[in-house]
Amino acid sequence: MLAFRLTGLPDSRLPLYLYCVGTQEEKVLHRPDGFPVYQLFLSGGGEGQFRLPGKGTWTMGAGQVFIVEPGIAHEYVPHSKSKGELGYIGIGGASAGSVLQSAGLLQNEPYPISGFDIIWSRMTNLWHALDQGATEMWNTSTLIYQLILDIAQSKIPSTVDIGSVRPSKEQESTLTRSNRESDPSKDALDALTRAVALMHTHYQDDLLLKHIADAVGYSVQHLNRLFHHHYGVTGHQYMQRLRLQKASDWMDKHPRASVREAAETVGMEVNYFIRMFKREFGETPGKGIKHRNQLQMEKGTHKAP
């Protein structure tokens, strides 16, 4: 598995940029608020159902691609015996929609592509390059554009013209991390606001505080100082409490769900989730579920004639 990898703050001049990349095991993915950018899903061996409320439900099998547009609520539920990985690539930028549309990749359902293993390997190579700090934002813009071209050529005739939109060749921004950290006022507050927003967007993902710090252009230590100053907790504590609260809210809406399902919705390992949940709320999530079921039964009894 390739842990969720978030790229840095994109240069505003980039018409197309890589937002995130990674893979996850076959598990429930629930995004009621959608995703901030286009998300390209790759099914690497498993099978499950994608559901877009109000739009439809589709089965997605091995070797298929599905792109979900920004802000569209979606849910993925793997089949019970499905084993494999679900890859994802977040694509942002003012030209992202037009490039994907021109390439014929914005379909209303999952679709197969030839040479899937090659596309998957390029995704993993991109992840490793990011993990090693060897790829800059401007370079990843070129790589993600090439990946879109490759997928388009494996799905539709190569004669389709998608060369009218190309990444810019301008120089990368010279704004450095040290310059930002030296400003204790507006820049720091903007970074904290963006960090909190990223946590709320990606609480389901394997997102580390280091990834957030890199994305907002600060060191982990400096970001932790900002969190402690404004919220009285470290960045890690803030993110953990957010995940636990989101899980509690989810169980309120799904009283018959299992503890494992609740843990998976916030990207936490089950045993760790149980320990942290009890520490935060004073009871295990299992007791919480039983209590919710009891309340549901009592409501049903009161409604009966």
| Backbone phi and psi for residue 58, each to the nearest 5 degrees, phi listed first | -135, 145
CATH assignment at residue 268: 1.10.10
* Distance from the Cα of residue 224 to its chain's centroid: 22
Least confident segment among 29-38, 129-138, 174-183: 174-183
Indicate if 26 and 112 belong to the same structural domain: yes
User: Is residue 133 in some structural domain?
Assistant: yes
Average pLDDT, the chain: 83
Residue 13: inside a domain, yes or no?
yes
Partners of 90 in the β-ladder? 20, 39
Asked whether residue 159 falls in the same domain as residue 241, the answer is no
Q: Is 181 among the domain residues?
A: no
150 and 296 housed in the same domain: no
**Is 142 found in the same domain as 27?**
yes
In a domain, 190, yes or no: no
Residue 195 lies in a domain: no
Domain count, the chain: 2
Rounded Cα distance, 140 and 14, in Å: 11
Choose one of 115, 140, 165: the last residue of a domain.
Answer: 165
Q: Confidence class of residue 50 from pLDDT cuts 50, 70 and 90?
A: very high
Report the range of poorest mean pLDDT among 12-16, 136-140, 153-157, 177-181: 177-181
Looking at the structure, tell me whether residues 146 and 12 fall in a common domain: yes
Q: Please state whether beta strands 64-68 and 38-44 pair in parallel, antiparallel, or not at all (unpaired).
A: antiparallel
Instruction: For residue 167, name the pLDDT band (cuts at 50, 70, 90).
Output: very low
Domain that holds residue 283: 236-303
Q: How far apart are CA 231 and CA 225, in angstroms?
A: 10
Tell me: do 132 and 279 sit in the same domain. Answer: no
Q: Full-prediction pTM beyond 0.85?
A: no
Task: Give 180 or 31, the one with higher predicted confidence.
Answer: 31
Coil vs helix vs strand at 273: helix
Same domain (yes/no): 142, 255: no
Given 132, 165, 198, the domain boundary residue is 165
Residues 259 and 140 in one domain: no
For residue 61, being part of any structural domain is answered with yes
The domain that contains 118 carries what CATH number? 2.60.120.280
- Say yes or no to pLDDT of 61 above 50: yes
Q: Give the three-state DSSP class for 59.
A: strand
Note whether residue 218 is domain-resident: no
Question: 154 and 21, same structural domain?
Answer: yes
Measured CA to CA in angstroms, residue 188 lies from 111, 177, 181 at distances of 44, 11, 7
pLDDT band of residue 174 (cuts 50, 70, 90) is very low
Could you tell me if 157 and 250 lie in one domain?
no
In a domain, 124, yes or no: yes
Give the whole-angstrom CA distance, residue 239 versus residue 199: 6
* Shared-domain flag, residues 17 and 152: yes
Contact call for residues 265 and 254 (beta carbons, < 8 A): no
pLDDT of residue 23: 92
Among 142, 165, 188, which residue terminates a domain? 165
Are both 33 and 153 inside the same structural domain?
A: yes
